[in-house]
Structure 1
């Protein structure tokens, strides 16, 4: 076994695979490569092969890999205060919460609860909804909200839920895009409607026009909460700080709760649950929820650096502009029948399907993409990706599709 770049990791393919299989719980599946280094939108494996990372750790690495702002923030914070538990507060924790509230234009009385992941952010939101005194939650077919028991109950995919049933009761899933079914499902027993502004796991699907407005009207009519899962769509991914702020996505709707993670930490594990206004903020009282790592100084310091860099480098406008050009380039390809998404969250429907085989060919050619369904690819690259790196994939895609035969094995989603 050999050491690469001082990492202490074994790098021969047979060596690292055998060690991985012997040491890592197989629930995560078989890894495709052993990655050892990254810079910007590029990563390298143990053989020295280079890849353009068009997935960014599934919409996590907003600033790419080894961004100087993240390295500096992490190093500076680690040299002063790493962890303090939730018995105490730290300056970056407070500053990050205040920055998120300001970016969300949240009213007075709003608040932020920090956690370690998107699933945990949704768990906190679920507990908030229970404090309404109701237990029924309306979710949407095709949704993905995480794999903890509570978040799993909200997640639509039966293959994820069935092995762990009976799960958390009270969740009703309505058909995607069916406004009438949504309105009919929301009644006096409903605690909340929970939905993603854009569904990631289902292939980057946007709701029909008027759907979020209908969700807001339906919840308002019975005093229920509207919870938007922005774990994947938040922090500039769609060209706005939060997708609900985009008038074409959010339709001017103000939610009661939003959940965040992924891009917020730029690679550090952090989630956040944001409550809008006193009524919602007051639902959870001291002692009813918590986490040892909530508001960890390291994660919150990096989160601040991510938000500051996105703002200073005008990456919201960049995501909107470059993402628009990429969708246009993809839509012009005869091999693509539909392009969806917003900003730098993009889905594409392959005319001949075979998404998993195409993604495999792409990986072999140096492109990391996600076969999120049998027929669709998903990309969510770093917001700092260059024009050539992103648009180069649109140029390469016809050849990649041509290199594989239709009918390869089924694909699986990511998160």
Structure 2
């Protein structure tokens, strides 16, 4: 039998077996909306450590929250996403055994596909992207309450960038971000003050809550991966590092080492020998830890006059020997030292030596002179209660 050509085959098809038309699966394309929304929600929760909020200022977050509610209320969405909802994001119903057969009309009529809610009627608002941007990160910032303690640090970083002691380079990655590092983000210096314990959110991905202070006096309390995303999206973002070291960390012996805190206390004692002088009787001390923890047992300690105290000022010092600084302040104000003698818990007479009859302004001035390395040019005059510059 002679072989037939292709033309003969296609021209002789009485049963129409070769008449094949390619169609798109509408069911699959519409189910894809559920999957895309579900994946976007999971990404948001992983990055922010919480579900999106309907009352959020960020329009994209509010929109996600509205869609999450619709997913949870939609039987067809729960049916489609049940096998993938291993974390129970959609609730128990998503894992039910209910098997409702869906038609294309069911999917197309789902209210999940409707965009008629008021929240979606945008006016004079730019729609955000799926991921948090650097500008959104800026919107979450608030005023830093103790920014004065960070000013010397930012000043020194800027000076060392200007003279070449510190350099900048591209960002290595989220995993490399550590407490004590500094970055340039959105044109500002961003300093990682603190980082909580890193916890595994999903296999191979860790996150941690951070405190970041910026050189414009603002701070943010955000997640490590959110900060990393902001750095990644800002094409001008840079890591600041020492040319002599791999990275910039505020460790001891580093040029930006945080020595500790000079604190000023005021007594709350009702002792008739102390109470009348409360407004200008101050204790000057130093610590490397939290001041409030340091004074927690004040009523049992004769150092604190066996009474509660209040913290009236704190000054953070950098690059200084803390004990030497304390001795310097005590020596500087020697003429104003209070001669207080009280019995301790065991009835023994003691003389606390860290209390002085001084105004808070005088202590602030002296601390600033120490920071500026000018304290030796001044002396304290107890009669006038003034800091006076020495004559040369």
Global fold match (TM > 0.5):
no
The answer to which structure, 1 or 2, has the higher relative contact order (CA under 8 A, 6+ apart) is 1
TM-score (norm 2): 0.25
Larger radius of gyration: 2
TM-score (norm 1): 0.24
Structure (1 or 2) with the greater strand fraction: 2
